Chains A and B, each alone.
Chain A
Amino acid sequence: MNDFLTNSIVLEVKQLSYFRNEEKIFGPIDFSLNGGKALLITGDNGSGKTTLLRVLSGLLRAQSGEIIASKSGQTYSDLSHACAYLAHKPGHKSELSCVENLEYLQIIFDQVKPELIEPALNKVGLSGYEDTPAKQLSAGQNKRLGLARLLLSQSPCWLLDEPYANLDLQGIELVNRLIQEHTECGGAVLLTTHGAYAAPAVPCQTLVLANVRTDR
């Protein structure tokens, strides 16, 4: 399933900072992350963890600094093609069933492999919920559906924004297991957490974001 990861991804971030309305949100940050590793981004509320992930996903454009994502010597022209992003928002429609949601996402992400949907749902513990509309799922199960989307995205770099939120103990274990499998296949994982949960059992780097905003 993860043959695309034989050559692992390298993510390099140099002097990256982001401003919103002239107000600095974070930065300057430097780090480099190789496939096979996870980067744990910690920091207080408002220190710019989510913003950093959104910048890395290509949804926001940073004003200074550069981000280079490359795989086997090839640089990605568009960051969003290297990354899959799991945010606070579910990213799927509540009226559609799990399978319908994943089928649609596979098409727009150009990864049409319908035979992978069933195993992915099994893996995240949603077997039996294939035809259940997402609005009938609990918050934790919606998160699991988001994890299934990550599995199907085949993206080398996962950006997880508070992946443990809303999850039960098995869910937390599941996230850690998925992260472990993904890194073992050469993928990179960046996750934010406010530190209350155990880190996944993979080679981990830590990036602590300081609150750079001046007090008002």
Chain B
Amino acid sequence: MANQSALSLFTAQCRRDLRLSLRRRGDIAQPILFAIMVITLFTLATSAEPKKLAELAPGIIWVAILLSSLLSLDAIYRSDFEDGSLEQMLMAPAPLALLIGARILVHWLSAVMPLVVLTPLFAQMLFLPSNLLAPLMISLVVGTPLISLVGAVIAALTVGIRHSGMLLALLALPLYVPILVFGAGAVVAASQGFAWLGAISLLGAGLVIAIVLAPVAAAAAIKISLT
């Protein structure tokens, strides 16, 4: 890499991917609709008692967001794989991990962050007590990027496989369990008046590790699955 700084590569990749997601607006709407569906159906299927719903709310919102981001996981590399862009990225002198890092960031921004932004609405739908909204939001802000980063590594492993959805879910779920336990657990702890920042700190530590390692691991996995 003679002339291009890491920053300009990162921004070029972000710019490309943001443009792409703006031009495929339907893809942004899909995870939102899915999460709204899960939450609405949940309220219909269980009792409509505000007190009971409020108890379940943190868990329902976390599960809805987790499953909806699992659905969009496959899309991180699929189009780049299908149109040969991934091959060009592999051949380019630019470090692949950097490009993949930008790709994951934009995926989180376009597929997961809208859900976090809509969480106050979800919380209203489920009668979540207003004092729990802050812990819920914080746990999601720290937890969902971790979900995207871990998911990106697994999606990279399955990138060349057709109909990889099943495999992806099987591989991702066990890794998502601790994130869910700490994330939703923090909100439950807050609702019972316990200290809840500990779980968030652990998620934060995981996030920091993942930010450093996941793009590198994903790039290595892509190289393996394409060769």
Contacts and interface: CB of A to CB of B under 8 A. Distances in A.
Interface stretch (A37-45, A65-73, A104-112, A166-174): A104-112
A58 interface: yes
B9 to A, nearest CB: 6
A49 B12 CA distance: 34
Contact of B88 (A94, A96, A108): A108
A14 interface: no
A59 interface: yes
A94 B87 CA distance: 15
A91 B83 contact: yes
B79 interface: yes
**Size band of the interface chain B makes with A:** 20 to 34
A95 B85 contact: no
Given A104-B12, A104-B16, A108-B99, A91 B87 contact: yes
Interface stretch (B44-52, B90-98, B164-172, B174-182): B90-98
A199 interface: no
Main SS class of interface, A: loop
B24 interface: yes
B41 interface: no
B84 A87 contact: yes
Nearest to B79: A93
B176 to A, nearest CB: 30
A92 B86 CA distance: 9
A85 interface: yes
A107 B12 CA distance: 7
Interface string A126-160: 00000001000000000000000000000000000
A93 B91 contact: no
Question: Considering the complex of A and B, which 6 residue pairs feature the smallest CB-CB distances, nearest first?
Answer: A89-B84, A80-B91, A91-B84, A108-B92, A107-B12, A95-B23
14 contacts: A57-B91, A80-B91, A85-B87, A89-B87, A91-B87, A91-B88, A93-B20, A100-B16, A105-B92, A108-B4, A108-B88, A110-B93, A112-B3, A112-B4
Interface of B: 1-4, 8-9, 12-13, 15-16, 19-20, 23-24, 79, 82-85, 87-94, 99, 226-227
Interface of A: 57-61, 78, 80-81, 83, 85, 87-96, 100, 104-105, 107-110, 112, 133
